[in-house]
Chains A and B, each alone.
Chain A
Amino acid sequence: MEIKNGLRRAGVWLLGLAWMIAAGIGVTSMFSGDRKSQITGWGFLLIAAIVFILTMNRWIKIFPVLLAYGLLGALLATASGHALNRPELPMSFAEGIVLMLFFGASAAISSTFTKRRLRLSDRIALFAFVALLFREMAQDRISPIGLAAALGCLVFAWCYDHFSNGHHADKVAVR
């Protein structure tokens, strides 16, 4: 049983890596000038988006963990003054602070999603959050406006759930 569980968890991480690569191929192909590559990129992005939406109830449980890991990474990057594992890419103190605030707030808000059933607004917000984050990643920049827009999606979903009438009725543990 223990071995089975271990293999299952390892398999889930490998599938996550495969999704990452597929989405990465899609995004990088989108930004290339070649028409054929862009069509291929759309194909990869479509597959990645379908998997993303269909498996949302599962990966939402580890999503805050990945963002919290981002907070740790931002802390290390700020302390070292360059991107994690990339000494040739300098990072200013201000950029480090922006990243820490972004990943800290995102992890805190998204952790509330794991304690309740996901609504349609949550799903749309999560999709928009990841799409905006990928857009920033593809352009290789740390834009406070872009990151704030992504964070705003999560804040909107949290506020919508918190202040809507059916808030207490939907407080169902998904674990």
Chain B
Amino acid sequence: MAANANTYSLGGFADLAISAYRGKDTSLFSNRLSSVVTGNAVSTLLFGNSVDLAATTYSSGGAYVAAKALGAPLTYGRRQADIMSLNLVGKTGSAPRALAQSTAGARSMIGKIGSGLSFGLSFLERTTIDVAFTAGEAVSCSAQR
């Protein structure tokens, strides 16, 4: 997870697109300065540099997470996902519990920071992008194991 974190971030995605267009490796949005804005803070909060932690998390329940999380970040207009803020308001189901639990701490912390700064929805949306990238990374890592 930690090794691939840069690829699964807003900046990493943008750099990938720029590199594909120019045919050269680019790190405009994932260097030391820009990565603090465009990097994946959720992934860093959850896993940091600990490859062992990530391996333990996703090797123990990898298949379950992969199966359930696949729909979670992409589900829209339903009441069963705990990750995306695009879902309808209402009672949530039990489908993406595994991934939701692993991101709950980070979401709570970031939510508090956002509320404290009175930024509300936009901050949550920016966080959601990182959560979605992290979920995608989790699925990818689980599939490779």
| Residues of A participating in the B interface, judged by any CB pair closer than 8 Å | 2-3, 6-7, 9-10, 13, 17, 20-21, 24-25, 27-29, 32, 37, 61-62, 64-70, 72-74, 76-77, 80, 83-87, 89, 91, 95, 99, 103, 107, 136-138, 140-142
Contact = CB atoms under 8 A, between A and B. Distances in A.
Nearest to B15: A24
A76 B47 CA distance: 12
16 contacts: A6-B86, A13-B129, A20-B38, A21-B14, A24-B15, A25-B18, A28-B18, A28-B22, A28-B26, A32-B24, A67-B37, A85-B35, A86-B30, A86-B31, A99-B36, A140-B32
A72 B110 contact: yes
Given A20-B29, A28-B26, A72-B110, A85 B18 contact: no
Interface of B: 2, 5-6, 9-10, 12-15, 17-18, 21-22, 24, 26-41, 43-45, 48-49, 76-77, 85-86, 88-89, 110, 113-114, 117, 119, 122-123, 125-126, 129
Contacts of A137: 28-29, 31, 33-34
B15 to A, nearest CB: 7
Contact of B123 (A13, A29, A69, A95): A69
